[in-house]
Structure 1
Amino acid sequence: MSNTIIVKSRGIEHTGEIAGIFAEILKPGDAISLEGELGAGKTVFVKGIVRSLGYHGHVTSPTFILAHEYKTETPIFHLDCFRLRNEKDFLSIGFDDYLSGNNILLVEWGNVISEYFDGWAWKVKFYFNQEDDNSRTIEFIPCNIPIDNEEIVRMRQAMINLK
């Protein structure tokens, strides 16, 4: 059995619910790569995570300013690497500063920086579904986490129960 978890979201609200389940297993120090085409649901997913962890302010993609901070019990930093083109760009945003063991790091377009950073706890990939404009397939790929990890087992069951 693979430790990858694949879920089909029926729309924006459902993506938020899925993100809420995922948020339950996040812990300080986790860096999450969010990958997918423009409009695939990455920012909607971030909104679901930060809402479920207690932040009720405005959530937008930090495309032009590169980073947002959401003040929750565990601080959340939301980065967007879409505009980064090389290692110099990557280093210029002070990425290491966000890697404190005291916060959660959510990185849209994390695949753009994978050549320079490989410390992901999870990669979450978003795919459009051809049969329905509102639905998405979301693939959760744990990195360096054993297949029998209790959190993965619990999350897999919660996703099954959500369907």
Structure 2
Amino acid sequence: MLEIRLKGLEETEKFGIKLGEVLQSGDIVCLNGELGAGKTTLTKSIGKGLGVEEYITSPTFALINEYEGRVRVYHFDVYRLENVDELYDLGFDEYFYGNGVSIVEWAEKIEKLLPKERIIINIDKGKTLDERIIVITGEGNRYKEIIKELNID
């Protein structure tokens, strides 16, 4: 587990870019946190680190957006998901087990469908408006490698 306190939007962006730079094809990043915690903001920064030049928006109504970067980025937002059949209809497993990086907002809603090896980021609001507390957990060798590369002193 790694806990990081980000004191503002600039630190959040730097963290997201750094995370994006270490992510590789096949990685799955699960973002959890209440409304307004900063899941989409963090996703935008991760996208920058992955080389995405296109403006990243929340796929709240589309369920998934795809972006080109140094690897393909699949951005899921399952907040409005009414049942998991919608994900089956999309062929979600092709994304999760494909050649891109999957970023899933509200991942706790589909936890049973997610591969065991994944990076889980819980975002909590801090004491100030822009402060965020990031707790990173996960399973598997990639999670351990990413934690090692992200360990910020």
Q: TM-score, normalised by structure 2?
A: 0.90
Which among 91, 112, 115 is matched to residue 115 of structure 1?
A: 112
With over 3 angstroms needed to count, the CA separation of the structure-2 counterparts of 1:120 and 1:62, relative to structure 1, is farther
TM-superposition CA deviations, 1:111-141 (whole Å, max 9, x none): 1100232434200110011x21110101111
CA drift of 1:76 comes to: 0.6
Listed one character per residue, the Cα deviations across residues 45-95 of structure 1 (whole Å, up to 9, x for unaligned) are 111111122222211110011111110121111011111133323322321
Aligned counterpart for 1:82 among listed residues 53, 66, 79: 79
- Structure 1, gaps ≥5 residues long: none
Question: In the comparison of the two structures, how many residue pairs are matched?
Answer: 153
- Mapped to 2, the partners of 1:12 and 1:85 lie a distance apart of 32
Residues 74 and 13 of structure 1: is their aligned pair in 2 closer, same or farther, counting only changes over 3 Å?
Answer: same
In structure 2, what is the equivalent of residue 72 of structure 1? 69
- The answer to whether the 8 Å contact 2:29/2:120 transfers is yes
**How far, CA to CA, are the matches of 1:88 and 1:96 in structure 2?**
12
Aligned to 2:12: 15
Stretch moving more, 112-121 or 135-144:
112-121
Structure 1 partner of 2:125: 128
**Unpaired runs of at least 5, structure 2:** none
Query: Is the 2:117–2:142 contact (alpha carbons within 8 Å) kept by the matching residues of 1?
Result: no
Residue in structure 2 matched with residue 152 of structure 1 by the alignment:
147
Give TM-score scaled by structure 1 length.
Answer: 0.85
TM-aligned CA deviation for residue 99 of structure 1 = 2.2
Runs of 4+ in 1 over 3 A off after TM superposition: none
Larger radius of gyration: 1
Percent pairwise identity? 31
Aligned to 1:46: 43
Q: Select 1:29's aligned residue among 26, 30, 33.
A: 26
Please report how far the alpha carbon of residue 22 of structure 1 lies from its aligned counterpart in structure 2 after TM superposition: 1.4
CA RMSD of aligned residues (A): 1.8
Corresponding position of 2:53: 56
